[in-house]
Chains A and B, each alone.
Chain A
Amino acid sequence: MTHITEETLEYLAKLSRMDLADGEKKKLAGDLEEILNHFEELNEVDTTNVEPMTGGTAQRNVFREDDANTRSEINGSSKDIIDAFPAHERGYLKVPAVFGGEEE
């Protein structure tokens, strides 16, 4: 039986970069335990010498011509994309300092 402790939850939240509210932790741990325990039935499947299926397609090594393609043809004008940023200056996204701010 898998047991999800509060430390495990905190660790997963840190890896996921996502705050958890105190009120939701108990239910979340219980849900994860129930789901993980269900997975234990996979132990009975013999997967010796089975190649893992790593994607949805049988395709391998897809290449394309190394042509220059402007962003606007692909993903809309850069103005629309930059306008979606909460703060920007001269076309650059403005965010707080990555280093030297508050410690995590």
Chain B
Amino acid sequence: MTQELMLFLKDLTIKKIHEGLKNKEFTAFELTKEFFDYIETRDKEVQAYLSLDKVGALAAAEAVDIAIAKGEDIGPLAGVPMAIKDNLLVKGLPATAGSKMLENYTAAYDATVIKKLKEAGAIVIGKANMDEFAMGSSTENSAFKITKNPHDLERVPGGSSGGSAAAVAAHMAVAALGTDTGGSIRQPASLCGVVGLKPTYGAVSRSGAIAMASSLDQIGPLTKTVEDAAIVFNAIKDKDPLDATSVDMEYGDDLLHPKLENVKKLRIGLPKEYFVEGMDEYTRAEVNKAIEKVKSLGIEVKDISLPNMKHALSCYYIIMPAEVSSNMARFDGIRYGRLDELQQDEPKSLLGIYHKQRGQGFGKEVRRRIMLGTYVLSSGYYDAYYAKAQKVRKLIKDDFDKAFEEVDVILTPVSPTTAFKIGEKTSDPMQMYLSDIFTLTLNLAGLPGVSIPVRQYEGTGQMPVGFQLIGKAFREADILGIGQFYERL
């Protein structure tokens, strides 16, 4: 039963669900129930979900079935079971962001992206595990559980959106939402063998996402196919009055329906700085295969240079913790319900409560980044670190702008290695930070990037590898267009 069910779920995409519902091969209710049946056994080992909402999901599925029965036109996301990263608010459900600080918090409203997904008829299955407040690259920093890579349970799924990536890779959701501040969608997508898109900064509203570093954060989809990623992105993007950084941008027909004749005209650049040291041999060989396959589409590929990329890690690890230290200031142990009630043994002053609750409620990595951010922003060090990093950030952005005069898309690896063993990098923060070396530059520059599996995972013991396509701002259509033709090869 489980094996048969797995094969059925494995084969599902957003596209196939839409056709199946329209052709009455199954109902949304039946489908949703099957997902929960499968999750009940499979998630015992993968541990992708922090909480499930079976009652809400089945009610939402029924509403889709009623619409179909009435002969209403349903959109492409109607009846699609989705996992939502736990730092995105879904009204009435927990939103812990993987932290003890929010253990008792229930979301009072829907994030804008959730509102849009619900209007489109998508089914929220549950909330996916993550590194605490999205800080980490392995999901080992969750305060609640360690998510396993579905392809090898001794390995990490990547992070911070590790629960989202693992849920899709293990067929416990057809699609998921994650957030990406330095690679947190693309790196776990690569390590789990699924597709992950970080949209252009401003393309998707961040309202209702628990902020980590506000000038870098974006919400985006994790899916099984590039085509599905385009469908989810199309549904969640938009200008939103609740996020002043969101942008009103027209996307053409080519986002969902790219034409090969146009895709062929795109020029791809390979930055030499990305193909040097630090990458393992297997990953390099796989990315080279992807380059050859892209060339076989008839796309021109040439070498380019992004000279300031070598400074991106330092730049990112100054700006991000600086923003983290200010965003984390809102968690005082009182709001968002960390304390059930004010206990007798609490310190008698408000300040005392802050000190105690923040000291106990935040995990190690969050505390490390708050301290680091506070240091680089503190008087006497601000200019040397934060102000300097903002200037280097500009130089990095300028490098991309210059490169995009010559090419339309840039191809790079996603992660320097495949999925590593659980516990392998937890004691050395610098080692863990290097996991994001190829992805975080885009967040600094605000550009869109998609991680695409080099090939279908074959179960041969070799872990999946993804490659990254970087596009011009608001040109998701270019990178997803190449990706859609790539996956048909």
Contact = CB atoms under 8 A, between A and B. Distances in A.
Interface of A: 8-9, 11-13, 15-21, 24, 28, 31-32, 34-36, 38-39, 41-42, 45, 47, 50-59, 62, 64, 74-77, 80-81, 84-87, 93-98, 101-104
10 contacts: A16-B374, A19-B359, A19-B360, A20-B359, A28-B371, A34-B430, A36-B372, A47-B388, A56-B214, A84-B106
A77 B370 CA distance: 31
B387 interface: yes
Nearest to B317: A35
B245 A13 contact: no
Interface in B365-387: 367-368, 370-372, 374-375, 378, 385, 387
A41 B394 CA distance: 17
Contacts, number: 187
A19 B362 CA distance: 10
A91 B399 CA distance: 53
B351 A75 contact: no
Given A19-B358, A39-B318, A96-B353, A87 B387 contact: no
B446 interface: yes
Could you tell me the dominant secondary structure of chain A's interface residues? loop
Contacts of B359: 18-21
B348 A84 contact: no
A4 to B, nearest CB: 8
Given A17-B354, A19-B355, A20-B367, 4 more contacts: A42-B311, A51-B394, A84-B335, A96-B353
B245 A56 contact: yes
Given A18-B362, A45-B392, A12 B374 contact: yes
Nearest to B310: A41
The residue in A18, A35, A94 that gathers the most chain B C-beta atoms within 10 A of its C-beta is A18
Nearest to B362: A18
B259 interface: no
Given A12-B375, A45-B395, A56 B201 contact: yes
B240 to A, nearest CB: 11
B347 A85 contact: no
B68 interface: no
Nearest to B446: A56
B390 A54 contact: yes
The 4 tightest CB contacts between A and B, nearest first, are A19-B359, A101-B349, A76-B108, A76-B109
Contacts of A104: 349, 351-352, 355
A47 B430 contact: no
Contacts of B202: 56-57, 59
Interface stretch (B182-190, B298-306, B338-346): B338-346
Interface string B380-419: 0000010111111111010000000000000000000000
Contacts of B50: none
Nearest to B217: A56
Nearest to B378: A15
Could you tell me the dominant secondary structure of chain B's interface residues? helix
Nearest to A78: B108
B390 A57 contact: no
Contact of A57 (B242, B245, B308, B388): B245
Given A56-B216, A84-B106, A104-B351, A42 B341 contact: no
A24 B108 contact: no
B350 A96 contact: yes
Contacts of B104: 84
B353 A32 contact: no
Contacts of A32: 368, 371-372, 375
B390 A96 contact: no
A101 B350 contact: yes
Contacts of A9: 371
Contacts of B340: 86
Nearest to B107: A76
A56 B216 CA distance: 6
B341 A53 contact: no
B245 A59 contact: yes
A45 B378 CA distance: 22
Nearest to B371: A12
Contacts of B426: none
A40 to B, nearest CB: 8
Given A12-B378, A42-B314, A55 B342 contact: no
Nearest to B313: A38
Contacts of A35: 317, 372, 429-430, 433
B51 interface: no
A90 to B, nearest CB: 17
A47 B305 CA distance: 19
A90 B442 CA distance: 48
A37 to B, nearest CB: 10
A16 B321 CA distance: 12
A44 B122 CA distance: 50
A54 B429 CA distance: 26
B234 interface: no
